[in-house]
Structure 1
């Protein structure tokens, strides 16, 4: 474990922790995936709301179980700690390497593009053109700079953007619902049923997997438990209340959105659908102003993901694992940040951004069958990795009561299995090719670690 010279100081309170959970989760996903959920269900609004409910329930159940573990263990990087104490250091390293090499950088890179995407919508630019990719790179560098040079400022930015991002969600949830009830659009959308053809054999599964991206990110808040004041108390509170609040606001927002415009219009609007809805309810000027808040919301989520990304390899190095632990465990005395870990995290973000562009945004994918959606499949992989942790928690944690030791972990296992099955239905053969890439990257991680040992 790291010595005092290379230890991170306690610098975040409960408010920052809650803001991190809410701020990392709420952001691009609810805007980015709302249209996909609507399209996946063929415009069936009740099924879409059910998908948001199921996705939120899965998040809350898993977060509650990890919150229980957080009351008992406080080391360097939440989920890696929990994997280590339940299944041993090798499994802890396995998850830590996955987070550092795949999970953090894939999500962070997608968030950089989504932030650029909505900026381009606001400016009237092409969302897959040079403007969008240049902005994506700039947002990545800006977020890295903020976190690497001033983690305290990054924490304050997280709290500020969390407050800002709730404004458009709350206004659309409230005003959109009222307007929709008055003009009859909400009732029409609720009762119209399926209005378009759906792809895939199970539209509900496809929709739930789409919500996974919108709900994901809460686990990244556990990466700062070593820097959190009274982490055993504050982290569980942040996870529990933060995830419940997120699920509620998402469902209300999605309902308000259905009161703004007809489902058919929203589905045709594509990436501009959210802007169209805001303009319909709040006028063009008001819609544009609120859409600026949407962009800020996305940047706040990007900041939270980058916060986890910069600490990925540090979490391994602090355990004397992974490539060159002595290099990646070094903490800069002036900024109190693991600088070398941060630089490698940024480089991987750039690589995954390039992959996302070539696999998902060009007319003909660069990577052939190995082109997959890096905004969803890594998330589902992590849910699969949770399953052994939850099972061993039921076996080992005899000090807990029956509800915390058996019932909630069992529900969490069922939730994770559901996500894996839903992903297979949703993505089909792409899952196989993703797993090949996953296996290669994980094998490299295992070789690097075994060679060092």
Structure 2
């Protein structure tokens, strides 16, 4: 066993990881939810996608600035340590490893299975879907744990593949929609259905947060990225800007394929229906295969972060069994034990997601919350102290990088927290109870009478 990760990824892999993790299931999975949240109001839906993209770009830019100054084991944990010290770094690292990575990874395993089932005509919440979810979860883990270089190549390949359906729908869907009048009709029809939320824009922006999330996971390969201080900022800045643009164009093209009312009623088949309408049944099926591959690429990127979650703590001699979890396999140069624990927790959260969101009667009563959105909003709340301390400590930066962008990032994060409250209501309180219990467990596990500093 070794105890250091090698520099094995280049700029192309880093960019592919940012784009590949972010672009995937969310733009397909949440497109119909944004329409439903806004009552079919297309301009308001596009505004929600724009706001979500702006929030992502602003936060990514601030972290890109920090990436030029700090390079250690895991980007977000490194930045927390540099600005707020070891205790906060452990706090955020434990959250990422125990909640953030495994919740998103588990949801992506199901979403990948969901679109596979749509393609095959199977029930998206039946035994077939859950069996495929488990298979995808284990398969992605095996790919990353046994051959991280192959996982990196898979990430680049799927990133290229997943852009095909998005680009085609953005261009062809818009042209078709303009020629047959559907796009203009969708833009001018206004609200066509009742909305459940008191603030539909907030609900829609929170929905887009899942589609935009994942870029921060690219910082998890900080220690394995060649010339990280140069390549990571480039990947974050270019990748997030590209994603926001392609999402807005795709959403516009989607509105040219079918009417808003049809898309809202389509449910899980909405995206397939749109592709089949524009590209014929056969062409739509082929492109929908690319959608499934797109989801698998996102799952792979999330698993890349998930397998390294506990390693980032163990490398600092923190968390559970640090001597065990910081071991690097000499053959694969992967933190094998950390990977196993990461996929185990992903399985636990997959079981929770099914019982809380996919069953007719939620298993967990009031403690059933949407694990695809609330952990994302939590991480935005955790960014706020980092941005504030960056403004205080980074005296060598100019006004734009030290004050303006971090201030905008703080405002963006506060907006996300408020929007989450409006979108999820009482579920936020029950989620915070579970969050508090898990974080307390992390603190207890890490307690040592003579704890070494970071």
TM-score calculated relative to the size of structure 2:
0.99
2:339 equivalent in structure 1: 342
Deviations 1:87-106 (A, max 9, x none): 00000000000000000000
Secondary structure of residue in 1 paired with 2:349: helix
2:124 equivalent in structure 1: 127
Q: Does 1:447 align with 2:444?
A: yes
Q: Does 1:321 align with 2:298?
A: no
After superposition, residues 284-303 of structure 1 pair within 5 angstroms as: 284-303=281-300
Deviations 1:181-208 (A, max 9, x none): 0000000000000000001100000000
| In structure 2, distance between residues paired with 1:61 and 1:112 | 28
| In structure 2, distance between residues paired with 1:265 and 1:26 | 24
Q: Does 1:244 align with 2:241?
A: yes
Query: How many residues align structurally?
Result: 450
Q: Does 1:365 align with 2:362?
A: yes
Residues 2, 329 of structure 2: 8 Å contact kept? no
| In structure 1, distance between residues paired with 2:156 and 2:95 | 28
Partner residue of 1:258 out of 239, 255, 258: 255
Deviations 1:47-67 (A, max 9, x none): 000000000000000000000
1:102 equivalent in structure 2: 99
Q: Does 1:5 align with 2:2?
A: yes
Deviations 1:89-139 (A, max 9, x none): 000000000000000000000000000000000000000000000000000
| In structure 1, distance between residues paired with 2:284 and 2:131 | 25
| In structure 1, distance between residues paired with 2:249 and 2:69 | 34
After superposition, residues 402-417 of structure 1 pair within 5 angstroms as: 402-417=399-414
Q: Does 1:180 align with 2:177?
A: yes
| In structure 1, distance between residues paired with 2:158 and 2:83 | 35
Tell me the CA shift for residue 451 of structure 1.
Answer: 3.7
| In structure 2, distance between residues paired with 1:389 and 1:451 | 25
TM-score calculated relative to the size of structure 1:
0.99
Deviations 1:398-447 (A, max 9, x none): 01000000000000000000000000000000000000000000000001
**Greater than 2 Å deviation, 4+ residue runs:** none
| In structure 2, distance between residues paired with 1:346 and 1:247 | 30
| In structure 1, distance between residues paired with 2:127 and 2:202 | 34
Structure 2: any 5+ residue segments left out of the alignment? none
Partner residue of 1:65 out of 62, 65, 73: 62
| In structure 1, distance between residues paired with 2:238 and 2:216 | 14
Partner residue of 1:400 out of 397, 400, 406: 397
Residues 5, 328 of structure 2: 8 Å contact kept? yes
Partner residue of 2:160 out of 155, 159, 163: 163
Deviations 1:254-283 (A, max 9, x none): 000000000000001000000000000000
Tell me the CA shift for residue 5 of structure 1.
Answer: 3.1
Q: Please provide the CA RMSD for this pair.
A: 0.7
Secondary structure of residue in 2 paired with 1:6: coil
| In structure 2, distance between residues paired with 1:403 and 1:264 | 44
Secondary structure of residue in 1 paired with 2:266: helix
2:383 equivalent in structure 1: 386
2:75 equivalent in structure 1: 78
| In structure 2, distance between residues paired with 1:105 and 1:324 | 19
Q: Does 1:47 align with 2:51?
A: no
Partner residue of 1:282 out of 279, 301, 305: 279
Secondary structure of residue in 2 paired with 1:8: coil
Structure 1: any 5+ residue segments left out of the alignment? none
1:428 equivalent in structure 2: 425
Residues 57, 241 of structure 2: 8 Å contact kept? yes
1:231 equivalent in structure 2: 228
1:32 equivalent in structure 2: 29
